[in-house]
Amino acid sequence: MNDSCDTRRILTAAFEEATLALGGVAAMYPIPDEAVWELARTFDLIHERACNRCGAKGAIASEDPDDDEHPAIVHLLAQLRNRGASQSDRGSK
């Protein structure tokens, strides 16, 4: 496995952990949905930029989120995982 693929794994794993932490806070405290969606959108953008800066390509498969997760958290986790898959497809053509 090359360095950029390893970097992608590390970045994605870290962002998945941060996303799950956000989901835990959203589940425990009365945070408006708009705020959770905005944080999820911002996390997604930061993840994309970080991966682009390091030239990381490839994705890691991970577990599906729990059904009781906030929709913004489910969406963000899917974005993190799907972006890597689509970048991996582009890199192999």
Tell me what pLDDT residue 92 has. Answer: 44
Q: Which residues in the chain show pLDDT less than 70?
A: 1-4, 55-68, 83-93
Show the domain range for 12: 3-91
pTM over 0.85: no
- Structural domains counted in the chain: 1
CB 6 within 8 A of CB 38: no
Tell me what pLDDT residue 86 has. Answer: 52
